[in-house]
Structure 1
Amino acid sequence: MRFAPAAAALSLAFAMTASVSYGQMRDPDPRAGMLIAQGEASLNAGDTQGAIDAFEAALAVDPGYTPIFLHLGEAARADELQGKAIRYYREALDRDPGNLAAISGEGAAMAEKGALEKARLNLAKVQSLCGENCPETRELAAAIAAGPHTQVLTAEANIEPQPQQN
């Protein structure tokens, strides 16, 4: 009987873990599913703002469906908003810490932003979870190899100093 409390605690922990991982493997609300499909079509057509609008609407319909954050991160990256994409990927990771797509997407956004060391840490994490040949590893390695996206200069940064006239 000395082990009864420990056994009860362990069984409760296993039950909670099983229910959390089961909850991650569900289908979205049908209305959210339609909005996700619409967002994917918009993103494939190059309409990033339309895709973001559709994904945000899907999130409003089904806020518990984690993959919507992955879609939002992808759309933000396509719109050159890497900081926003990182925030979406981190939200997905808060909900599902072992999500390979979120780890890889966050690393790719970091590489595009210029944070190559942090991106390499994500690459090491993905490699340890799924190996060298999984698609997430290859995609993140390619993003790191491509390096940061060119930065857009503002008008103020592009002005050359004028010589002073006496």
Structure 2
Amino acid sequence: MRLLPIVVALGVMGATIASSGETQVPDAQINAQSLQWQKAGEAALAAGQYQAADDALETALIIDPRNRGAFVSLARVAQKQKLYGQAIRFTNKALALEPNDPVALGVQGEAMVELGAVGRAQQNLAKIKSLCGAKPCAPATSLSALIQRGPAMAKAEPPAAPKKN
């Protein structure tokens, strides 16, 4: 009777340790159907069909929630719809799976710039540059150009004030 709590604690600890490695699967082992839905979503995004892209990418994530590329593509759909906060949330989910993903960091940085968080976007740019090293890196180039341009929302004209009679 005195050993029962110890045995139960060891059993729970053993089950926890054994299950912790099951969730970490390399990108090469993402479900093939999920990748097919991701490609369909990216094709719809390229065609400007945002709802179809969103549906296909969400299906990809239902099939395999570890599909980091689907999260990044959903962030791009959100950006096209000017939903920058949602884009940041999707890239956060991708970065939770792989914190050193330069593409996800770049997309997140682009959304941050559009929201006016240029300082945080510059932090992402610095991290991307450190990940890419000396070789040219498309996410770094794209984010750097966007930071130089500045937020589009700040350049938009404010709505006209209503006229008083």
**Uncovered stretches (5+) of structure 2, i.e. residues with no partner:** 1-20
Corresponding residue to 2:130 among 111, 128, 131: 128
Q: RMSD over aligned Cα, in angstroms?
A: 2.4
C-alpha separation in 2, matches of 1:24 and 1:144:
32
Q: Which runs of 4+ in 1 moved over 4 A?
A: 151-154
Number of equivalent positions: 143
Partner of 2:144: 141
State the identity %. Answer: 34
C-alpha separation in 1, matches of 2:145 and 2:68:
25
1:78 is aligned to 2:80: yes
1:158 is aligned to 2:155: no
Q: What's the CA shift string for 1:22-76, capped at 9, x where partnerless? A: 8233243222122112111110101112111110111011112222111111111
Say whether the 8 Å CA contact 2:38–2:69 is kept in structure 1: no
SS of the residue corresponding to residue 150 of structure 1 reads helix
C-alpha separation in 2, matches of 1:110 and 1:148:
9
C-alpha separation in 2, matches of 1:127 and 1:160:
47
Q: What's the CA shift string for 1:62-110, capped at 9, x where partnerless? A: 1122221111111111111110000011111111111111111111110
**Uncovered stretches (5+) of structure 1, i.e. residues with no partner:** 1-18
